[in-house]
Amino acid sequence: MRKHRKLLVAIACLAVVAACVVVLSRDGEPHYQDRSLSFWLDAWGQNALVQDSDFQAADRAIHAIGTNAIPTMLRWICEDPAPWKQTAKLLPSCHDERGFVVWFS
C-alpha cells in the first residue's frame, strides 16, 4: 500500500511538472495548422495584391483563428516600439504628403 502511494505521488508530481512545461513554453499567440497568427498575418499581407492560393490560405487561417486573435493583437498594440523604429521616426521622411517616394528634392 505504501509503495502505491509513493508511486501515485511521483506520477502526480510528474504530471504537474509536465503541465507547467506545456503552459510556460507556449508563446500565447493563437495557432492554426501549427503556424502562428503572426505567420498568417505576414502571409496575408505579402499576398494581398495578388490574392493567390497563399493569400486564400492565410485568409482562411485568420478567419479560423477568429476572435482568439484579439488578446494577442491588443498586446501587440500596447507594446513599446522597437528602438530602431523610434530612431527612424526622427529621420527626415522620403515621402511626400500623398505617400509617394521623393527621389529628388
Predicted confidence at residue 12, as pLDDT, reads 76
In a domain, 96, yes or no: no
Predicted confidence at residue 14, as pLDDT, reads 82
In a domain, 95, yes or no: no
Sign of CA dihedral 93, 99, 103, 105: negative
In a domain, 34, yes or no: yes
Domain count, the chain: 1
In a domain, 90, yes or no: no
pTM over 0.85: no
Predicted confidence at residue 23, as pLDDT, reads 59
Predicted confidence at residue 36, as pLDDT, reads 92
Predicted confidence at residue 65, as pLDDT, reads 95
Distance CA 21, CA 23 (A): 6
pLDDT tens, per residue, the chain with 105 residues: 687 788 777 787 787 877 666 655 566 889 999 999 999 998 888 877 777 888 899 999 999 999 999 999 998 888 877 777 667 666 666 666 666 666 654
Locus of grid cell 482568439: 68
What residues form DSSP beta bridges with 35? Answer: 32
Predicted confidence at residue 16, as pLDDT, reads 80
In a domain, 104, yes or no: no
In a domain, 91, yes or no: no
Residue range(s) defining the domain that contains residue 47: 2-79
DSSP state of 68: G
In a domain, 7, yes or no: yes
In a domain, 67, yes or no: yes
